[in-house]
Amino acid sequence: MNQNQLYPIFLKVSQLNILIVGGGKVACEKLAFLLKSSPNANVLVLSVDFDKSILELAKTHTVSLVKAQYSKSALKNKQIVIAATNNREINKQIYTDAKAENILINVADTPELCDFYLGGIVTKGHVKIAISTNGKSPTLAKRLRQFFEEVIPDDVNELAENLNAFRQSVKGNFEEKVSTLNNLTKNLLNNK
């Protein structure tokens, strides 16, 4: 049986330097997706030309725009790179350069040239769920995201806040606290 072996993590992208190379529709989609989940992401977009939508996003977020051709020097001090040009050879060069610098890279629509994928994300206040199809079907990830957005109640953030306050008040060692919280939440999803 094939299994998704990706390891999900939640990055503090406001503390990382992200580079998106490309200024068209695909680059805009990647930028918008990133900013929807992390509005304070620290992003630099490099391209010879920018889609109108990218210009709009840059006005309302921490997005820098640099009008230039790609060169390896653009990777300096970057931790994450997304290659989203309309030129496969340039995207492959960005991949090669990023790997040589040990920078995490995502080449749009080229799963074999990706260290990570941008999956579906559901956000309700402090609660965030990431969905991955292992790069097989972004459409399925989208449909699952829509499903979870509908079934997770909007007041789940209040529940998270209340559980955090309770967690802070629980006495005892780590195991005792975990046991107490497990007992408190064991029937959380039962519809009885």
CA 137 to chain CA centroid, Å, is 16
Query: What per-residue confidence (pLDDT) applies to 188?
Result: 73
**1 has pLDDT over 70:** no
More confident residue, 41 or 189: 41
Choose between 64 and 142: higher pLDDT: 64
- pLDDT tens-digit readout, 142-165: 899 999 999 998 888 888 888 888
Cβ partners under 8 Å of residue 108, min gap 6: 22, 26, 27, 30, 82, 83, 84, 91
- Which tops the pLDDT comparison, 179 or 89? 89
Tell me which residue has tokens 């559901």: 122
So what's the pLDDT on residue 192?
43
DSSP-H helix ranges across 11-77: 25-37, 52-60
* 122-to-8, 93, 143, 157 alpha-carbon distances in Å: 14, 33, 11, 13
pTM listed for this prediction: 0.86
- Dump pLDDT digits (tens) for 74-127: 999 999 999 999 999 999 999 999 999 999 999 998 989 999 988 889 988 889
Range 49-71 average pLDDT: 96
Q: How many CA atoms lie within 13 A of 101 on its CB side?
A: 19
Rounded Cα distance between 165 and 178, Å, is: 14
Average pLDDT, the chain: 91
**Which CATH code of 3.40.50.720, 3.20.20.70, 3.40.50.1000, 3.40.190.10 fits the domain covering 13-117?**
3.40.50.720
Domain-by-domain residue ranges, the chain?
A: 13-117, 119-152, 160-185
Q: Which residues lie across from 134 on neighbouring strands?
A: none
Q: How confident is the model at residue 191 (pLDDT cuts 50, 70, 90)?
A: low
Higher pLDDT, 56 or 190: 56
Distance CA(66)–CA(15), nearest Å, equals: 20
What whole-number distance in Å separates Cα of residue 143 and Cα of residue 154? 19
**Residue 52 backbone dihedrals phi, psi, to 5 degrees:** -55, -35
Average the pLDDT over each of 26-30, 57-61, 174-178 and give the range with the smallest value: 174-178
